[in-house]
Amino acid sequence: MRNADFPFLPKDFIQTQEGLIFAVVSYQAHAGKVGCFLRYIVEGNAWKKIDTEQANQLLQQFYPQYCYQSEQFDAAFHAVALDDIIKHHRPEDKLKQTLEKNATDQIERKLQKLLPILVQYGADIEALGLTGSMLIDQQGATSDIDLVVYGRDEFHKIREAVRLAVDDGLLQLLSPELMEDNFIRRAGELSFDEFAWHDNRKFNKAAIDGTKFDIGMVCLADELEHDNQQYQKQGMRQFITKVVDDHRAFDFPAVYLVEDEITPEIVSFTHSYVGQAKVGEVIEVSGAVECDIATGKSRLIVGSTREAEGEYIKVNR
């Protein structure tokens, strides 16, 4: 599953000697470095989660070597050289470790209850990993369970397992309170009702005994379409179109092919819009136009910045 020369995948965490933990966000190396975003810093004897603005300010002031401007994508993110990594946290290893021991808190107990339910409905435990706060033992009573699924086919099997388990009452759709919390954290451009309608039909998240869990896909090597083009931002665009291909809708980034001559491809780097639309649906989209310098072909990016202000995908209902 992992490339021996570059064994880093999205949803992994990498740790540096300065007491920084970054979430890996890219499948490929960037100038020999791991593309990522700073997520946790050491505070006392614990890890403290920080937001994007705090992360950028901290790195700019104290660790500018981890700030990275990608010429290929005309975008700023974080990147860590291999020599600066002192620990590589791998979700599949963490899940095995967690299942082999006695649960130490209610979140681990709920995880150990959740996995047999997913397996009962056809999930393959070997395709799963554990990320988020549980990957570094920083979960609390209100933490989510963040699962990784390796492989597109297996991911959709587990989505179906979640749907069936919800239908049978073993799992639950998000309560209004959990949905509200999810909505606030995403801080997107949709209204709460729009957000909840889209989210409830994805089955990439649900609840077990009042705790939200989430499944995120990581593609296998043969599922990746390598992007070696160099892009340049061209300004914002908003339009209505029809989806003609959604087979990469749950990838990261999510990709939708649409009936539009100017930007026939929509790419979302924002988790809120993963799995947002299906083939045949008419959508309203807003994002940043990018032009491939070599070919002149354009695409629309939703999530051109992490906050994605003014950028969205929503189905016309």
Instruction: For 10-66, write each residue's pLDDT tens digit.
Output: 999 999 999 999 999 999 999 999 999 999 999 888 899 998 889 999 999 999 999
Residue 205: pLDDT over 80: yes
What does the pLDDT look like over 87-100, one tens digit per residue? 999 999 999 999 99
Angle at 268 between CA 81 and CA 208, to 5 degrees: 90
Residue type present at position 255:
V
What does the pLDDT look like over 135-184, one tens digit per residue? 999 999 899 999 999 999 999 999 999 999 999 999 999 999 999 999 98
Tokens, residue 278: 């299906």
Torsion angle, alpha carbons of 77, 314, 181, 43, to 10: 0
Q: What is the pLDDT of residue 3?
A: 87
The domain locations on the chain are 13-89, 91-218, 225-315
Torsion angle, alpha carbons of 253, 254, 258, 261, to 10: -10
Tokens, residue 88: 């590589």
Residue 261: pLDDT over 70: yes
- Transcribe 16-41 into DSSP letters: ETTTEEEEEEEEEEETTEEEEEEEEE
What does the pLDDT look like over 287-302, one tens digit per residue? 999 998 888 899 999 9
Q: Does domain 91-218 have CATH number 3.30.460?
A: yes
CB 281 within 8 Å of CB 242 = yes
In the block, tokens 């990261």 appear at 252
Q: What is the pLDDT of residue 188?
A: 82
Neighbours of 42 (CB within 10 A): 13
Question: 173: which DSSP letter?
Answer: P
Looking at every residue in the chain, the average pLDDT score rounds to: 93
Which residues touch 129 (CB under 8 Å, ≥6 apart)? 11, 90, 91, 92, 93, 94, 95, 147, 148, 149, 150, 218
pTM above 0.85, yes or no: yes
Which CATH superfamily includes the segment(s) 225-315?
Answer: Nucleic acid-binding proteins (2.40.50.140)
Query: How many Å separate Cα 227 from the centre of its chain?
Result: 18
